[in-house]
Structure 1
Amino acid sequence: MKRLITAALAATATLGLLTTAPASADPLDDFRHQALSWRSCDDPRLDPAGAQCADVTVPVDYSDPGGATMTVAISRLPATDPAQRRGVMLSNPGGPGGPGLDFVVDIRGGMTPEVAARYDLIGLDPRGIGRSTPVNCRWQEGFWTQSAGLDAADFAASTVRQAELAARCATTEGARLRHITTRNTARDMDLIRSVLGEDRISYYGTSYGTYLGAVYTQLFGDRADHFVLDSAVDPERYGATDLLRDMGPANEAAFDLWAAWAAAHADEYRFGTDRFAVREFIQAMVRRAKDRPIRIGEFTVDQHSLPNILFAGLDDPRKYPMLAGQLRQLADAADGATVTPDPQLAATLAFMLKAEPRDLSTATAVLCGDAATPRDPAWYWRNIEDSRADQPLFGAFTNNITPCAFWAPPAEPKTVVDNAVPSLIVQSTGDTRTTYPGALGMHRALRGSRLVTLPDVPIHWIYGNYPNDCVSAAVNTYLLDGTLPATDLTCRDEAGSGAVR
């Protein structure tokens, strides 16, 4: 009997150990404790800067972490003074679809030495992009964005093209596309935080990266430290339709600024001697490109693709000479001259028309996977026609139908951003990509934010990219010790028209 009682007591004690120390209830526990293998990045910008790279394994579907996995490539540029190190700062350069491993070099360039001492800068190629496990729809062209053209026949052709792009993605990538989303990239960021052994992360994002940062604050607000959102998206209007439609008026206004600049250089570029003449010259080029597409080198530019070139050159006034030079080459080719495009124009055309070096199918997957869009082509055609009067160059471009109209429905609802996590938003009033009203929308959604405004400059991405001591001081002060401006702040442009000659 004594032996039976002893055995029973031992069994009870063992059972108690089993019930009080269960296996981890965290389904991501194995992911959180993975060991990273840091190595040379084999990158001409990262290696000289002293960065290293690693791959982080993440679940494809966070609702099924035991299922398929993929990798997210990250870089690390260490804090310059380990004794002052505050933590890590993750980052995103925009897109969606932009690779970001080397973005840390740009961010470090905007920092004062005191701020650079505080943070390990972490770049990443988000899921599906770059050196991460890639999404590749095998498109034959890079941009899915294009103008709807000049008439109903042009729009019909564009609609067929967008449907074909969506079908190619569904065929080549299948169900995995549903998990290439901003919410999952935010989850990847938090998993990276955990793998790096950090309680919280700081963050710098520009363009689409501001939306990614805002989604992170919504999902993981208690783990957000210092968040800087540069050139911000309105989270309420984020998606493949409203986001693009908001760009139309801003790009028409920026085109007029460029046209005035080109008119002042009429002797060199020969588009006209005032901005009205320049505008008419370029609009006539688009009409001519429909009747006779422009052959330049190995490329053909038509009424669908020419507005893309304009759009690409209007996000920074320092690009005005480049854009004028490109359009001069195209105008000469349209007149019948044999023109070899310069390397910069050739690279732009290769990306837009031939998917070299990559296409933007990942960007499409993110946009279409984040938010549902209208599916009726007639809805888009009405918007295009309504926009032509006051957006003659960009209305048919920013209101055109997209592959999202033919995409599978999103796997999750669109994220509603509404929180009081402190953050700093910086924005120019003339931004052609993420418009100033969008930044005001982000400011409303992030109730703990402060807004720094740079007026009268058509610049997209300010900190570390466009010289302004006031903006830089506001960002660096916040990153140094968390001090936000007491109120929203307006910074005046120091470079002004002197930035372009």
Structure 2
Amino acid sequence: MRLRGLIVLTALCAALGAPQGAPAAHALFVPCGPNGLECTTLDVPLDRSSATAGTVSLHVEELPAPGTRRGVLFLVAGGPGQASSGTFQLGTNAIDYRSRFPGYTLVAFDNRGTGRSGVLRCPELQAVPFASPATARPLVAKCATEIGPSRAFYSTRDHVDDIDAVRQALGVDRIALWGTSYGTQLSVAYALTYPSHVERLLLDSVADAQGRDPFALDDLRQMPKGLASLCSGRLCRAATSNFVGEVVKLANRMARRPLAGKVAKPGGGTRTVRASGIDFLSGAVLDSDLNAGLVAELPAAVHAALRGRPRALLRLVQLDRETSITPAEDLSMGLYTATVCDDGPFPWDPETPVAQRAALLAAARNALPRGSTGPFGRWATDLGPAAFCLLWPPQARRPGIGSGPLPNVPVLVFAGERDLRTPASNAAAIAARFPQGHLVTVPGVGHSVLGADFTRCADDAVGTWLSGGIPPSRCPRSPMLVNPIGPFPASFPSSNRRGVRGRTLAAVAKTVREAAASWAFALTGFSTPHSIAGLYGGAIRTSGTTFALKRYSLVPGLQVSGKLRLYRPDTGSTLPARFVGSLRVLGPKAAHGSLSVRPGALVGRLGGRQVRGSV
């Protein structure tokens, strides 16, 4: 879906005819950025049937290949709603991309309705992205009014025809496409509609190429497998012995009785946070396949919530909501809605009046066979787009995606084993549909594999594939940015054979490990929070590979202040991330003092005495 966090992780890892009204070939590009980046604007028809007047101006960026040109590669972002120019940043990342795709001229253009291609704006929906249907439905209806009648021309088929218009304007016969998430759906749709113009496909985190399931049934059935991968190798043993079972139990419980409670605010005070089962599943659970901080904290937070202590989980829910809010230029919720609610399919025809849809939706949901939603109740069908699009206005049926056949071209498909929103089964299915399809599975990685695989196996597989070799079918397990943390403490430790200093040292060690997870949350979130509140107050501020704590409290009665930075050893692995720096320890129950944080150790003075412990 969205890639901001993956770009950050990359930095840490070292022959159908022209549609009516198509532009003339050979667009005029002008310099527009570093490393030889060039840009142009391409006007395409709003409605290719010409029944509705108007054009859309597409912002197109090109990074020419130095030396001998091998071909042209289109970089297709996800969402739908992401702007490819901002997602991929061809000029800024030119060295990396030219190394990964030698000889290819790289093209990224903002799909209609995104970025600098007439971005669609629905401010109220943008402020609560991917909210539960109960919250989103009236905002979806308002969004349709805000966009107006042109909303009928932002379907996947419209985006497919725009890709071909850009291809023609470049004056090339065949193109390669690299799609991620929804970008895979769009790339495969292009291959089905314009098969003779495809040179090869690189598909990362495959969306259902057959079209969206209105109830997300396959996602729900496959979710336990992805969650189990998160905790494989006993990674979560400090927090829980049954992460999958606890997520399922808590989600079904929250569907019957939503959680509510107080969480701390970074500037002081508290706020009340409420979350239903679908809030939990579509937010913190689903986003854990991208956000390294959620991965680290979710097992312990779920375990605590099941035992009557929901504060840590509600804090994660609120953080996930806050960091999911992005400018429309980065991810347009208006475009997301216009595309998803046009594409369907739904339990109603596109022309069905809104007043008749609720009954059709309920009937289709009630007719689902037992087990259709995996271990979750029927309530979980709200994860799919049907409930979200219920109030989208009726519109006339329009041409859909071409029916193929799929081209016999090289196709490389990546699947992250802990991908929850585009399960690995999707990747296996699409690889099998192409005569030259090859699947690479990457353990330890969630959604959006390239850039998140710290072993570089995935990058190497691309190089092997481009040179005509056969990549491995499975990569080594990629290490986590930060490992899952242990249990959230309900109170300051009450016993320890080393007295209050020993209890304080143990509590500080827990705080450092959790603060590292909060740093990872900020680093890999869809947007970067200004600061993150501690579980019991105080705050952490992050800046790249450093973070500062101000009276940060994970454990009641203990407050920690100071600054830590990422430890970079001269040799050996830097993962999971470790930190060095200095801390001051305060709090009514703690032994006060100062500590130095070293790789794996805490050293300093507490309560006037020298102490040493592990972290």
Give me the TM-score of the superposition, normalised by structure 1. 0.73
Residues 1:178 and 1:287: Cα distance change in structure 2 (over 3 Å) = closer
Q: Is contact 2:38–2:61 with CA below 8 Å preserved after alignment? A: yes
> For 2:162, what is the secondary structure of its paired residue?
helix
Residues 1:444 and 1:180: Cα distance change in structure 2 (over 3 Å) = same
Q: Is contact 1:99–1:125 with CA below 8 Å preserved after alignment? A: yes
Residues 1:460 and 1:221: Cα distance change in structure 2 (over 3 Å) = same
Alignment partner of 1:197 out of 149, 163, 171: 171
Cα distance in structure 1, aligned partners of 2:246 and 2:329: 31
Question: Which one is further off, 297-306 or 190-199?
Answer: 297-306
Q: Is contact 1:372–1:404 with CA below 8 Å preserved after alignment? A: no
Q: Is contact 1:109–1:464 with CA below 8 Å preserved after alignment? A: no
Alignment partner of 2:414 out of 427, 441, 445: 427
Residue 495 of structure 1 aligns with an amino acid whose one-letter code is S
Structure 1, unpaired ranges of 5+: 1-24, 41-46, 149-157, 267-271
Residue 121 of structure 1 aligns with an amino acid whose one-letter code is L
> For 2:285, what is the secondary structure of its paired residue?
helix
Alignment partner of 1:495 out of 478, 499, 505: 478
**Pair 1:73 & 2:59 matched:** yes
Distance apart, 1:299 and its partner CA? 7.2
**Pair 1:139 & 2:111 matched:** no
Greater share of helix: 1
Residue matched to 1:453: 440
Residue matched to 1:305: 279
**Pair 1:38 & 2:24 matched:** no
**Pair 1:59 & 2:45 matched:** yes
Cα distance in structure 1, aligned partners of 2:272 and 2:460: 45
Distance apart, 1:68 and its partner CA? 0.2
Residue matched to 1:391: 376
Residues 1:366 and 1:437: Cα distance change in structure 2 (over 3 Å) = same
Distance apart, 1:125 and its partner CA? 1.8
Cα distance in structure 1, aligned partners of 2:318 and 2:250: 17
Distance apart, 1:205 and its partner CA? 0.7
Residues 1:325 and 1:264: Cα distance change in structure 2 (over 3 Å) = closer
Distance apart, 1:241 and its partner CA? 1.3
Residues 1:418 and 1:323: Cα distance change in structure 2 (over 3 Å) = farther
Distance apart, 1:406 and its partner CA? 3.6
Structure 2, unpaired ranges of 5+: 1-17, 266-270, 349-359, 484-575, 577-615
Residues 1:190 and 1:396: Cα distance change in structure 2 (over 3 Å) = closer
Q: Is contact 1:140–1:353 with CA below 8 Å preserved after alignment? A: no
Distance apart, 1:477 and its partner CA? 3.3
Residue matched to 1:92: 76
> For 1:32, what is the secondary structure of its paired residue?
coil
Residues 1:299 and 1:62: Cα distance change in structure 2 (over 3 Å) = farther
Question: Which one is further off, 394-403 or 88-97?
Answer: 394-403
Greater share of strand: 2
- Residue-by-residue CA offset, 1:349-404 (whole Å, 9 max, x unaligned): 26369989865231121122223311422123565986677136993553574333
Q: Is contact 1:75–1:101 with CA below 8 Å preserved after alignment? A: yes
**Pair 1:174 & 2:148 matched:** yes
Q: Is contact 2:115–2:328 with CA below 8 Å preserved after alignment? A: no
Residue 400 of structure 2 aligns with an amino acid whose one-letter code is P
Cα distance in structure 2, aligned partners of 1:452 and 1:368: 30
Q: Is contact 1:454–1:490 with CA below 8 Å preserved after alignment? A: yes
Distance apart, 1:484 and its partner CA? 6.1
Cα distance in structure 1, aligned partners of 2:330 and 2:201: 32
Residue 32 of structure 1 aligns with an amino acid whose one-letter code is A
The total of aligned residue pairs comes to 442
Q: Is contact 2:77–2:180 with CA below 8 Å preserved after alignment? A: yes
Residues 1:135 and 1:479: Cα distance change in structure 2 (over 3 Å) = same
Residues 1:350 and 1:313: Cα distance change in structure 2 (over 3 Å) = closer
Alignment partner of 2:191 out of 199, 213, 217: 217
Residue matched to 2:427: 439
Residues 1:393 and 1:368: Cα distance change in structure 2 (over 3 Å) = closer
Alignment partner of 2:201 out of 227, 230, 233: 227
Which has the higher relative contact order, 1 or 2, with Cα contacts under 8 A spaced 6 or more apart? 1
Q: Is contact 2:37–2:61 with CA below 8 Å preserved after alignment? A: yes
Cα distance in structure 2, aligned partners of 1:263 and 1:338: 16
Cα distance in structure 2, aligned partners of 1:404 and 1:110: 39
Distance apart, 1:122 and its partner CA? 1.2
Distance apart, 1:176 and its partner CA? 1.2
> For 2:148, what is the secondary structure of its paired residue?
helix
Cα distance in structure 2, aligned partners of 1:284 and 1:215: 36
Q: Is contact 1:89–1:120 with CA below 8 Å preserved after alignment? A: yes
Q: Is contact 2:414–2:440 with CA below 8 Å preserved after alignment? A: yes
> For 1:101, what is the secondary structure of its paired residue?
helix
Residue matched to 1:239: 212
Residue 218 of structure 2 aligns with an amino acid whose one-letter code is D
Identity across the alignment (%): 20
**Pair 1:374 & 2:374 matched:** no
Q: Is contact 1:90–1:122 with CA below 8 Å preserved after alignment? A: yes
Cα distance in structure 2, aligned partners of 1:302 and 1:197: 52
Residues 1:373 and 1:452: Cα distance change in structure 2 (over 3 Å) = same
Cα distance in structure 2, aligned partners of 1:294 and 1:32: 60
Computed over aligned residues only, the root mean square deviation of the Cα atoms, in angstroms, reads: 4.3
Give me the TM-score of the superposition, normalised by structure 2. 0.60
Cα distance in structure 2, aligned partners of 1:323 and 1:394: 25
Residues 1:320 and 1:493: Cα distance change in structure 2 (over 3 Å) = farther
